[in-house]
């Protein structure tokens, strides 16, 4: 932005200019001392004209700085100050300026504040180079919000219990106007709710590979076997030993070694009469362990 300071701006009914000390009396009389005007403002009503004059001295001294923007709103018809409008905050990084204003209640609802704000917005965007103009008001002051909307500022949200003014803690409605391209918002990613799958319960016994009762039941169903409690315990033990043996094999360095079948010195997990006599279904037992030398040859899905 290129700061140009408080230049005089003229509209159809108004002259927006720098304040002078001679404005102290009309400023105090017309709005600065009126609790109705300051009801939703951050500063209290002035108690004397001297207090008003002290405020004006500070503004006038700051006019030497190009980033100082504080206009007296003079009504051409009477040649007198009836309000003020200025920049209350500047953000150089995003080229943003926040505007604040107040007006004598004798001139409310006549379009005067909208006329002044519109002229200031045009000056700040076209000449100073602001990319964003923003303004705020207490949500209990809807007429101020209408002024902002009339001047092209869009409602952006409300900050709840965000500010203390002369009416106590209040909600603040925020309005803004952006000049030029606006950065597009990234669409919010909709996350699908995660569904936790129930896993078979495992009783911690300190063993590395533990087979649950549910797993044994499932194996029995697949093999169409009805195992008694003793057979189930033998099956769990055999399967644990086989898994532990496989873990040991996986830890070996098998670089350059051709795959081969391994013989496991374990008892038959399935009933020997069903395996040997062929009473089980072909689909279930087609890949069943084959008895060999007191153990079982690893089926194709595990070994070769």
Spell out the domain ranges in the chain. Answer: 9-178, 213-251+258-297
Burial 71-87 (b: 16+ CB within 10 A, else e): bbbbbeeeebbbbbbbb
Give bridge partners of residue 101 from the DSSP assignment: 85
Confidence of residue 199 (pLDDT cuts 50, 70, 90): low
Residue 296: CB atoms within 10 A of its CB come to: 23
pLDDT of 266 > 70? The answer is no
| Segment 144-162 mean pLDDT | 97
User: Taking all residues of the chain, what is their mean pLDDT, rounded to a whole number?
Assistant: 82
**Residue 170 structure tokens:** 């209040």
Of 16-20, 165-169, 293-297, the least confident: 293-297
- pLDDT for 227 equals 73
Class of domain 9-178: alpha beta
72-94: pLDDT as tens digits: 999 999 999 999 999 999 999 99
pLDDT of 40 > 80? The answer is yes
207-263: pLDDT as tens digits: 566 777 777 676 667 666 777 888 878 877 887 777 777 777 777 666 665 554 444
- pLDDT for 198 equals 59
In the chain, pLDDT over 70 holds for what percent of residues? 70
Rounded to a whole number of angstroms, the CA Rg of the chain reads 42
Selected residue with higher pLDDT from 233 and 29 = 29
């Amino acid at each position: 932005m290129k700061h140009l300071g408080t230049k005089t701006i003229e509209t159809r009914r108004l002259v927006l200019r720098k304040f002078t000390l001679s404005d102290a009396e009309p400023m105090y009389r017309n709005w600065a001392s009126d609790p109705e005007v300051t009801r939703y403002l951050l500063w209290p009503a002035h108690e004397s004209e001297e207090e008003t004059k002290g405020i004006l001295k500070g503004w006038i001294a700051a006019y030497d700085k190009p980033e100082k923007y504080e206009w007296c709103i003079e009504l051409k018809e009477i040649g007198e100050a009836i309000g003020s409008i200025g920049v209350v905050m500047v953000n150089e990084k995003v080229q943003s300026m926040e505007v604040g204003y107040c007006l004598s209640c004798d001139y409310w609802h006549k379009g005067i504040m909208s006329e002044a704000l519109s002229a200031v917005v045009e000056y700040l965007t076209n000449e100073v180079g602001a990319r964003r103009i923003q303004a705020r008001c207490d949500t209990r002051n809807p007429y101020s919000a209408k002024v902002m909307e009339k001047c092209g500022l869009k409602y952006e949200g409300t900050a709840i219990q965000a500010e203390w003014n002369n009416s106590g803690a209040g909600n603040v409605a925020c309005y803004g106007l952006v000049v030029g391209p606006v950065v597009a918002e990234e669409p919010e990613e909709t996350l699908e709710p995660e569904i936790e799958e129930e896993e078979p319960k495992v009783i911690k016994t300190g063993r590395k590979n533990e087979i649950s009762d549910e797993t044994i039941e499932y194996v029995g169903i697949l093999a169409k076997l009805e195992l008694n409690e003793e057979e189930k315990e033998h099956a769990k033990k055999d399967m644990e030993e086989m898994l532990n043996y496989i873990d040991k094999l996986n830890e070996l360095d098998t670089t350059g070694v051709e795959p081969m079948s391994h013989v496991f010195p374990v008892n038959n997990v399935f009933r020997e009469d069903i395996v040997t006599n062929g009473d089980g279904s072909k689909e279930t037992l087609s890949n069943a362990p084959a008895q060999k030398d007191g153990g079982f040859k690893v089926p194709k899905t595990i070994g070769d």
